[in-house]
Chains A and B, each alone.
Chain A
Amino acid sequence: MLSFPENLLIIPGSAPVVGAAAEITSIPISLKNVQKLWAVVYVNTVGTSAAIACVPQTDALVAFGSATVLAHAVPIWSSQAAATSDLWTRETDAVNFATTADALHKMVVFEIDPSNFMTTATAASSDDCFRISLTAVAAGDYCAIFYIVLPRYISKSDTRTYITD
């Protein structure tokens, strides 16, 4: 039985930040000791009603010198009127997701299985690090990103760090 947040861990992705018409990237996380990761993107577009493109990326190191987009589609859920409805919509699996262009509060969940990081459909990738890029968050809009981690070794979950290689 898992307990939250001791065994099912919550890791900082991006503390709340206001946009500046530029890309925002979450803190890179190493998934070498992770069974599965859920990245929860939380956006407030009340400032501009602009769509936000959420693009998962991988790399070999948390330094993220050469970000690569996913080669395999991943499960995605969205809740795009989150202040008034807690319903989630199961979206079509994809390698990225763009929110609807309106002023409603939104959440998007990406389910990431590190064993599916591939360079092509058949060739395994050496990447084991992950982040999310939000392309061009408009000035006046806000975002935050939470990582939820199912660790590979539950007994070490309280002492291990996931934001270093």
Chain B
Amino acid sequence: MNPFIPEGLFPVSGASPETTNGAKTADYISLKNAEMCWAVVYMTQAVGHATAITVERATDVAATGTVAIANAVPIWYGNMTTTSSQLAAQTDAVSFTINVGVTGDVMIIFQIDPANLGSTFDCITVKAANSGQATNFWSVLYFIKPRYQSKVASMTATEFLVD
């Protein structure tokens, strides 16, 4: 993988920073021209809450047929502090729920292989359950390894936010 950002590892907006006081859905993105996608969920858990984060698949970016992914995916998790920035690989799963006792900065990464979404699905999103806490926040940033790197470097039209 070319490590250069944004040419080689392409960031796409999922959910701009906002409160999780209310159920949230990140933007659906199309992975038709992606080789791999990492959905990075970065959260502030000011108040401990067992917030469930799920990945769903759909057949278009309008969310047609949206449903939880069927195949477990690699997940990394870290409860960041001022002295630790480590992430730990978790058991592969289709979702991740933060421990209710966890507060502070939380990062969760889902590695999504488009080939494992199922034959009719090429779009994904990430959803957060309602935390009921106005001071708990999330943001979602997708990092995409493009199928055609040269195309991404020179693209002139939106690629991943449309079908």
The contact size tier of chain A is 35 or more
**Cross-interface CB contact of B80 among A15, A84, A109, A150, cutoff 8 Å:** A15
Chain A nearest CB, measured from B47 CB (Å): 14
The contact size tier of chain B is 35 or more
**Does the CB pair A15–B3 fall under 8 Å?**
no
**Cross-interface CB contact of B107 among A4, A12, A111, cutoff 8 Å:** A12
**Does the CB pair A5–B105 fall under 8 Å?**
no
Q: Which residues does chain B contribute within 8 Å of A3, judged by CB atoms? A: 1
**Cross-interface CB contact of B158 among A17, A84, A161, cutoff 8 Å:** A84
**Does the CB pair B43–A40 fall under 8 Å?**
no
Query: Does chain A have a CB within 8 A of B133?
Result: no
Q: Is the interface of B mostly helix, strand, loop or mixed?
A: strand
Q: Which one, A92-100, A121-129, A138-146, is touching chain B?
A: A138-146
Q: Is the interface of A mostly helix, strand, loop or mixed?
A: strand
Query: Does chain A have a CB within 8 A of B126?
Result: no
Bound state CA distance, A109 and B5, in angstroms?
8
Give the A-binding residues of B (Cβ under 8 A): 1, 3-6, 9-13, 16-19, 27, 38, 40, 42-44, 76, 78, 80, 82-87, 104-107, 109, 137-139, 141, 143, 145, 155-161
Chain A nearest CB, measured from B65 CB (Å): 22
Q: Which of A1-48 contact B (CB under 8 A)?
A: 1-5, 8, 10-12, 15-18, 27, 36, 38, 40, 42-44, 46
Leading 3 A-B pairs by shortest Cβ distance: A16-B137, A82-B13, A142-B17
**Does the CB pair A44–B158 fall under 8 Å?**
no
Chain B nearest CB, measured from A106 CB (Å): 8
**Does the CB pair B3–A86 fall under 8 Å?**
no
**Does the CB pair B13–A4 fall under 8 Å?**
no
Chain B nearest CB, measured from A33 CB (Å): 13
Given known A87-B158, A111-B5, contact A44–B11 (CB-CB < 8 A): no
**Does the CB pair B42–A16 fall under 8 Å?**
yes
Q: Which residues does chain B contribute within 8 Å of A155, judged by CB atoms? A: none
**Does the CB pair A4–B143 fall under 8 Å?**
yes
**Does the CB pair B44–A5 fall under 8 Å?**
no
**Does the CB pair A10–B11 fall under 8 Å?**
no
The interface centre, meaning the residue of B11, B155, B158 with most chain A CB atoms within 10 A of its CB, is: B11
Residue of A nearest to B143 (CB): A4
**Cross-interface CB contact of B13 among A42, A111, A161, A163, cutoff 8 Å:** A42
**Does the CB pair A142–B16 fall under 8 Å?**
yes
**Does the CB pair A15–B137 fall under 8 Å?**
yes
Residue of A nearest to B105 (CB): A15
Chain B nearest CB, measured from A113 CB (Å): 12
**Does the CB pair B85–A85 fall under 8 Å?**
no
